[in-house]
A and B are shown apart, each in its own frame.
Chain A
Amino acid sequence: QSVLTQPPSASGTPGQRVTISCSGSSSNIGSNYVYWYQQLPGTAPKLLIYRNNQRPSGVPDRFSGSKSGTSASLAISGLRSEDEADYYCAAWDDSLSGFVVFGGGTKLTVL
């Protein structure tokens, strides 16, 4: 049972725009930044979005992030076959002494 809630799956055809949601609470998304990680099959996760909507160097601008209240979204426009991967949201949670929480992950299929 993950602290952050994501849909288990999403899909789209090449060229489409897809969004993946991430829902949390006031102690995590509501008061801290959201991060998104992309995990290609058989590989380690890779940072995709930091501080809600910032892209690390090398990440295409087809990927964008947003946050509102206790929810966040990852949008992928101009979908490509190589975007097929698992996507995880993450945030710092202020409860107890503070710790990192992840979403359960969303498997994106490019049809």
Chain B
Amino acid sequence: QVQLQESGPGLVKPSETLSLTCTVSGGSISSYYWSWIRQPPGKGLEWIGYIYYSGSTNYNPSLKSRVTISVDTSKNQFSLKLSSVTAADTAVYYCARDQITMVQGVIQYYMDVWGKGTTVTVSS
């Protein structure tokens, strides 16, 4: 079955850019949407954004000015870049596979496969 694995630096300095990659195994990245979600220590989940395998994206309005999500279908990977980070960006970052369809004229959107998550700390 499909498995997701996040990778990237665990420590990022303030004002720098956080970069993470999610590798998809056991299935193709094509024909699906893929998202990033984060969870600050002791807090709830926050959706960052999604990308379709074709490259179209949609971001959380609260993070839109700092977020870029990209996809590399040849490597079966998608990536997250978050610029100008501060301590508030310290979190566990998850990648996930999305199921997005229209059901009776209503958007159905949920994450059905999740990676284990990777901890990113923003500190000098």
Contacts and interface: CB of A to CB of B under 8 A. Distances in A.
Interface of A: 2, 31-33, 35, 37, 43-47, 50-51, 56, 88, 90, 92, 96-105
B106 A33 contact: yes
Contacts, number: 65
A88 B111 CA distance: 13
Contacts of A2: 44
Contacts of B107: 32-33, 92, 98
Contacts of A32: 106-107
B46 interface: yes
Contacts of B49: 99
Interface of B: 35, 37, 43-47, 49, 58-61, 94, 99, 103, 106-112, 114-117
B58 A98 contact: yes
A102 B44 CA distance: 8
A47 B99 CA distance: 11
A99 B59 contact: yes
B114 A45 contact: yes
Contact of B45 (A50, A88, A92, A96): A88
B110 A35 contact: yes
B108 A50 contact: yes
B61 A99 contact: yes
A92 B44 contact: no
A50 B44 contact: no
A51 B108 CA distance: 7
Given A45-B37, A98-B58, 8 more contacts: A37-B111, A51-B108, A90-B45, A97-B58, A99-B58, A100-B47, A100-B60, A100-B109
